[in-house]
Amino acid sequence: MLETAQNTIRRAAEKMGLDDKTIEELIKTKAEHIFEIELENGKKFKGYRVQHNNKRGPHKGGIRFHPDVDLDEVRALATLMSFKTAAVGIPLGGGKGGVVVDPRELTEEELEELSRKYVRHLADYIGPDKDVPAPDVNTTAQIMDWMVDEFEQITGDTTKASFTGKSLGKGGSLGREAATGRGGVIALTEVLKKRGKADDELTVAVQGFGNVGYFFSKIAETDTPLKIVAVSDSKGAVYDPENGINIARALDVKRHGNAISAYGEGKREVEVISNAELLTLDVDILVLAALDNAITEDNMKDIKARMVLELANGPVSEKAHDYLVSKHVTVIPDIIANAGGVVVSYLEWLQNKQNETWDEDRVNKKLERIMISAVNEMHRRSESENISYKEAAFEVAIAELTR
Ligand code: NAD
């Protein structure tokens, strides 16, 4: 992922005529904190915080608790955050953190101790005007609440603006949970408008029915004429081209702890298919909301959708992206498509700093304004330079970062 991110930046920067020194400045990380967290019971865990760029505002980015976390992954995600915040024009930089741990193997007490000690290692380097972490894979609002509390005890800060993604009672923002999916619907709708297709009942397959995939599907179902005909989770997929997927019913299946394939039980019209088959369905739009590298050289030639929305980070490999673009498939890139989450994190940070609480409608309207403006900027550059949306989004970000 690091290589792909850096290649994408390099390619766009070279096209813009930037010199080698400026390009290296754009790529290199500003600071890397690597430490060991030891719990009272002697268990040890490796922790990271990479701060990539803060030219446009405090570093911003999630903290991931996962056994596969490593320095290069954290570097890649921190780098992408700087370009994401720049591409959507919010006054924040990029950062990312992680701990090599499977939180399911910890007790609640151990998880709290780990979260608090993570903050103790970093207290001098983070804060509302330095670096504002947030949740990512396996980190929750509860973990953010513990982290804020620890940060406040160490520093005396009372703004709650040191972390975002907090619970509502502890300074979190309304609209945060749905923000990435909602931002995806807004970005997709704007692109469809430009093609005169926003009123059409286009068919959509959604890979990944977790937080992002669910909210994308729910909001698309209620707010747009799009028809979600297939959804998947890690165990399989369901497809109902005739009736479309009923999103509330699909959620119910997941809430009861079942794989999404259970949605098809007893319904002849619903086909249970594999994950691989979902990606190659004959639909108008493919939404990737699960993992990186979902489309690679292995399956790029089988993709039939004419539009791909990258809600996960890096779900289309570099080669697959170039291939799809050469076949006139529109790829709406991750740094725009999934930016809704960081945009509402920014709005949470603003509310905390201004000691305000906004209602959900106000948050959603601001999210919409920021997303639409980012899509327009990307589209304008893509049209004027005859380049892909991905290149255009990176060019917009680079222009911001080198201003
Ligand atoms: P999540 O864990 O809630 O959901 C992920 C879903 O993907 C789950 O339903 C899982 O079963 C499914 N999945 C895993 N492997 C799969 C496979 N091979 N095929 C089909 N489905 C599979 O995670 P999330 O918060 O929804 O995030 C999804 C993606 O979006 C991640 O890549 C994440 O980094 C990215 N993202 C999330 C946010 C956010 O605000 N949550 C913001 C930006 C980017």
Catalytic residue among 30, 60, 84, 96: 96
Q: 176, 211, 245: which to mutate for ligand 1, most atoms within 8 A of CB? A: 211
210 CB within 6 A, ligand 1: yes
317 CB within 6 A, ligand 1: no
Find the radius of gyration of the CA atoms of the chain: 21
DSSP-assigned letter for residue 165:
S
pLDDT of residue 16: 95
Q: What is the pTM of this model?
A: 0.96
Residues 6+ away with beta carbon under 8 Å from 7: 318
Mean pLDDT by 10 residues, the chain (403 residues): 91 96 97 98 98 98 97 96 98 98 97 98 98 95 98 97 97 97 98 97 97 97 98 97 97 96 94 97 98 95 98 94 98 97 98 97 98 98 97 97 95
In angstroms, how far is CA 305 from the centroid of its own chain?
A: 22
pLDDT of residue 4: 87
Closest to 127 (Cα-Cα) out of 98, 158, 173: 158
390 is catalytic: no
Residue nearest to atom 17 of ligand 1 (CA): 234
pLDDT of residue 61: 98
Q: Is 64 left (phi over 0), alpha (psi -120 to 50) or beta?
A: beta
From ligand 1's centre to the CA of 118, what distance in Å? Answer: 24
Closest to 239 (Cα-Cα) out of 198, 282, 303: 282
pLDDT of residue 291: 87
Per residue in 5-53, pLDDT (tens digit) is 999 999 999 999 999 999 999 999 999 999 999 999 999 999 999 999 9
Closest to 239 (Cα-Cα) out of 280, 278, 287, 285: 278
Query: Which atom, in ligand 1's list, is nearest to the CA of 213?
Result: 26
208 CB within 6 A, ligand 1: yes
CA–CA distances in Å: residue 200 to residues 218, 254, 284, 298: 18, 29, 11, 31
